[in-house]
Amino acid sequence: MSERVMRCEDAAPLLDGFVDAELEGATLIDVARHAAACTSCDATLQELIALHETLGGHGRADADSVDLSGLWRSLEPQLVQADARRAWRRRLRTTPVWASALAIAASALFFLSPRTAAPPQSVATQVARRPNQAFIERIDSEGGRFELRRDRKNGTMLIMVSATGDDLP
Amino acid sequence: MTRVALVSVCVVTVLSLAQQQALALEVQITAVEASYEGPSDPRLLDMRPRLRRLVGYRAFRVLQDERRYCAWRSPAAFSLPGGRLVHVMPKGMRGDEVMMHVQVINGPRSLVDTDLRLQNRGYMLIGVDDDVHAPGILLIMLKAVE
C-alpha cells in the first residue's frame, strides 16, 4: 500500500472541508497528516477551527437569545391567509366547469339586479300609506260601468260610475 | 222615593246615550255638482285642484251636506238630489281604518255596491254620471270619523 504525500497546495483548498467534516475518510486522514507535519497549514487549520467555533457559538447564542414569539404572532395571520389562498386555488382547480359557470352567473345576477333600500318585509309595510288612502274590497254595479281613479299624492279614491253609456269624463 | 227613581232614570238615559254615541260613527255625505264652467264653492277651494285632477271638471258646487251618527252594523240612508240614495253601513274598525258597506241607488238600479276601507277622518269620492241632460256630474263625498 503506497502512502500518499499531500503537499501544501493540495491541502490548502481542503482545509475548510476538513474543519466542516465534509471530506471523505481517506482525504480527511491525508489532510490531518499533512497538517501535523506542516506548521503553516496547521496554523491555518487552527485559525479556521477557531473561526468555525466562534461563528458556531455566536450563531447558537444569537439563536438562543432571539424571541420568536412576537415574530410568529405577526407572521401567523399572513400564513393563514396564504394557506387559505392556496386552499381556494386548490379547490378552484378541482371544481367542475359547470359549477364555476353557475357561480359566475349567480354573481352577475347579484351585481346587476336592482338594489332595495330596506330588507324585504311584508307587502303591507313595503307600500307607503298615503294620508287619505282608501281600499276597495269589493265593488259591483248594475248595468253601469265604473272606473277607479286615485290621487297619487294623497291617495284619495274616486269611483266614477257612468250609467248613460257615454265615455267617462 | 220618586226623586231617587227620576234621578236613576236620568242617569241610565244619559249613560245609554253616551254609550250609543261612543259606539257610533260619524258619516258625512256631501253632494257636489261638478261642471265644466262656473264658480266653485268656497268650501271646496282647498280641494279644487285635487278634484280637478281626479274628475276632470273645473267647477264644483255643493248641493247638499249631511252629517249623521250611524250605529255600527246598522244601515243608514242618505237622500241625494235627483232622487238618488246612499246606503251606508259601518261594519267596524281595523286599526285606523273604517270598514263600510256603501251602496248608491237610483230608482231600481244599484249604481255602486261596494265594501271599502276608509282612513279614519279620511274621505273618498263617488262620481255619478247618469243624466244625459245634466251639464255635469254628481260627485258624492263620503267621509267617516270614528
Beta bridge partners of A138: B115
Q: Which three cell numbers stand for residue A85?
A: 389562498
Q: Are B55 and B34 in contact (CB under 8 A)?
A: yes
User: CB–CB of B111 and A151 under 8 A?
Assistant: no
pLDDT band at A2 (very low <50, low <70, confident <90, very high): very low
Residues of B in contact with A164 (CB under 8 A): 129-132
ipTM comes to: 0.81
What contacts A59, CB < 8 A, 6 or more positions away? Answer: none
Q: Residue B92 above 90 pLDDT?
A: yes
Buried b (16+ CB within 10 A) or exposed e, B68-91: eebeeeeebebebeeebebebbbe
Whether this model's pTM surpasses 0.90 = no
* Arithmetic mean of pLDDT, B97-111: 93
Question: Pick from B99, B123, B129: which is nearest to A162 by CB?
Answer: B129
pLDDT per position as a tens digit, B28-82: 999 999 999 999 999 998 888 889 989 989 999 999 999 999 999 999 999 999 8
Q: Which alpha helices (DSSP H) does chain A contain, by range?
A: 8-11, 15-19, 25-37, 39-65, 68-94, 97-112, 123-126
Residues of B in contact with A125 (CB under 8 A): none
User: CB–CB of A159 and B114 under 8 A?
Assistant: yes
User: CB–CB of B113 and A141 under 8 A?
Assistant: yes
pLDDT per position as a tens digit, B122-142: 999 999 988 777 888 999 999
Question: Pick from B56, B97, B112: which is nearest to A161 by CB?
Answer: B112
Residue among B87, B5, B27, B127 nearest A161 (CA): B127
Q: Which three cell numbers stand for residue A121?
A: 318585509
Q: Are B137 and B57 in contact (CB under 8 A)?
A: yes
Predicted pLDDT at A98: 61
Give me the residues of B, 51-110, that contact A with CB < 8 A.
53-57, 97, 99, 104, 106, 109-110
Q: How far apart are CA A148 and CA A135, in angstroms?
A: 11
Neighbouring CB atoms inside 10 A of A5's CB total 10
Q: How far apart are CA A48 and CA A19, in angstroms?
A: 7
Predicted pLDDT at A108: 64
User: CB–CB of A135 and B122 under 8 A?
Assistant: no
